[in-house]
């Protein structure tokens, strides 16, 4: 039986890509699509938005109705929607794949609340390659992190509104956890002026915003006489959309709880 997927943020860059992947992939179909009330996507045919031709599914602005009409929900929108989506998933008993980044404490708490009663996956990056990169970065941090200066460099398109990227922060947490450090204490965001010498205990973040870069992340371990750079480059948003749809089909089989992509791909 085909899995009916509801998409929140359907009019966005990721939303349109998700509509396309959901419709093309065997075993899934678009059950509902929703976007911000008053947004230009609302009222339009979701298939036409995604450049596929009419599908007969109109983009609505009622999150609860969209969730109720779906077997699983994928949300790539803005943090403003997260608490409403989490509450709707809890009320209707639907699993949630959350891709939105830049969440605050209240939104994270809403996801924790949902995980008590339903399955929720939250990943800062749904690509298989970045999931693997995170595991490799942890391994490198454990092996050489203590004697290295660790810098995380990320680049994204000019429309991205949060920085550093959710993926960069997740990579930073992976490094900090592997080294027994607290990222909130040791992160340094950008540098300017008389910074003094670098403290080896810190983890540095640098952000690039330019053009149409889909997403690039490098974790650099700088030692004496050598350095290691682990890099992932996304060349198309399809990788995130395909990962999120794969996550939704996996999540409907899981008991309540919080999951991430590492649970799915087993690293
Ligand atoms: P975008 O700005 O193109 O699209 C966001 C969409 O959400 C817009 O259509 C907007 O109208 C809609 N929206 C805003 N508020 C809403 C609300 N209250 N209810 C319903 N819809 C609402 O952004 P994008 O590039 O598609 O990215 C969306 C989010 O996904 C961002 O947080 C981005 O960082 C994240 N993202 C995550 C991954 C991942 O793999 N986890 C990959 C790419 C992007």
What CATH number is attached to the domain comprising 193?
Answer: 3.30.360.10
- C-beta neighbour count of 100 within 10 angstroms: 23
Note whether 155 and 24 are same-domain residues. no
Residue 132 in tokens = 């693997």
Ligand 1 — pocket residues by CB below 6 A? 8-9, 11-15, 34-36, 39, 41, 76-78, 80-81, 99-102, 123-126, 240
Note whether 150 and 196 are same-domain residues. yes
What CATH number is attached to the domain comprising 105?
Answer: 3.40.50.720
pLDDT in tens, 218-240: 999 999 999 999 999 999 999 99
Q: What value does the mean pLDDT of the chain take? A: 97
Note whether 7 and 118 are same-domain residues. yes
Note whether 229 and 246 are same-domain residues. no
Contact 69, 59 (CB under 8 A): no
| Cα 64 from Cα 85, distance rounded (Å) | 7
Note whether 8 and 111 are same-domain residues. yes
Residue 12 has pLDDT above 90, yes or no: yes
Question: Which of the listed residues 9, 101, 238 should we mutate to test ligand 1's pocket, taking the one with most ligand atoms within 8 A of CB?
Answer: 9
- Which residue, by CA, sits nearest to atom 12 of ligand 1? 9
Question: Which of the listed residues 32, 35, 130 should we mutate to test ligand 1's pocket, taking the one with most ligand atoms within 8 A of CB?
Answer: 35
- Which residue, by CA, sits nearest to atom 22 of ligand 1? 36
Model confidence band, residue 267 (pLDDT cutoffs 50, 70, 90): confident
Calculate how far, in angstroms, residue 35's C-alpha sits from the geometric centre of ligand 1: 9
Split into its structural domains, the chain has a count of 2
Note whether 243 and 114 are same-domain residues. yes
Distance of CA 242 to the CA centre of its chain: 12
Calculate how far, in angstroms, residue 70's C-alpha sits from the geometric centre of ligand 1: 19
Calculate how far, in angstroms, residue 78's C-alpha sits from the geometric centre of ligand 1: 5
3-state secondary structure of 197: coil
- C-beta neighbour count of 152 within 10 angstroms: 25
Note whether 144 and 85 are same-domain residues. no
Note whether 118 and 16 are same-domain residues. yes
| Cα 179 from Cα 197, distance rounded (Å) | 21
3-state secondary structure of 244: helix
pTM to 2 decimals?
0.90
Positions marked catalytic: 156, 160
pLDDT recorded at residue 5: 98
Q: Give 120's strand partners.
A: 96, 258
Note whether 144 and 187 are same-domain residues. yes
pLDDT recorded at residue 17: 97
The stretch 147-173 carries a mean pLDDT of 96
Note whether 34 and 118 are same-domain residues. yes
Model confidence band, residue 204 (pLDDT cutoffs 50, 70, 90): very high
Note whether 181 and 214 are same-domain residues. yes
pLDDT in tens, 91-110: 999 999 999 999 999 999 99
Note whether 11 and 61 are same-domain residues. yes
Range of the domain at 222: 128-234
């Amino acid at each position: 039986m085909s899995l009916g997927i509801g998409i929140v943020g359907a009019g966005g860059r990721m939303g349109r890509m998700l509509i396309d992947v959901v419709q093309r992939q065997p075993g899934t179909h678009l059950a509902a699509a929703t976007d911000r009330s008053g947004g230009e996507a609302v009222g339009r045919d979701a298939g036409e938005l995604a450049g596929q031709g009419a599908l007969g599914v109109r983009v609505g602005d009622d999150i609860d109705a969209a969730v109720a009409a779906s077997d699983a929900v994928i949300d790539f929108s803005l943090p403003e929607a997260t608490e409403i989506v989490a509450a709707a998933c809890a009320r209707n008993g639907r699993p949630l794949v959350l891709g939105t980044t830049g969440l605050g404490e209240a939104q994270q708490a809403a996801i924790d609340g949902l995980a008590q009663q339903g399955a929720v996956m939250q990943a800062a990056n749904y690509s298989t390659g970045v999931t693997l990169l995170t595991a490799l970065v942890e391994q490198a941090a454990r092996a050489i992190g203590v004697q290295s200066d660790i810098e995380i460099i990320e680049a994204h398109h000019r429309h991205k509104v949060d920085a550093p990227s959710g993926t960069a922060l997740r990579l930073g947490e992976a490094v900090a956890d592997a080294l027994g450090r607290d990222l909130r204490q040791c992160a340094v965001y950008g540098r300017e002026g008389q910074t003094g010498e670098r403290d080896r205990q810190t983890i540095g973040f640098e952000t690039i915003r330019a053009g149409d870069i889909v997403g690039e992340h490098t974790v650099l371990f700088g030692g004496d006489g050598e350095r290691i750079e682990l890099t992932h480059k996304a060349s198309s948003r399809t990788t995130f959309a395909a990962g999120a749809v794969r996550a939704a089909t996996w999540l409907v089989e899981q008991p309540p709880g919080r999951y991430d992509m590492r649970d799915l791909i087993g690293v």
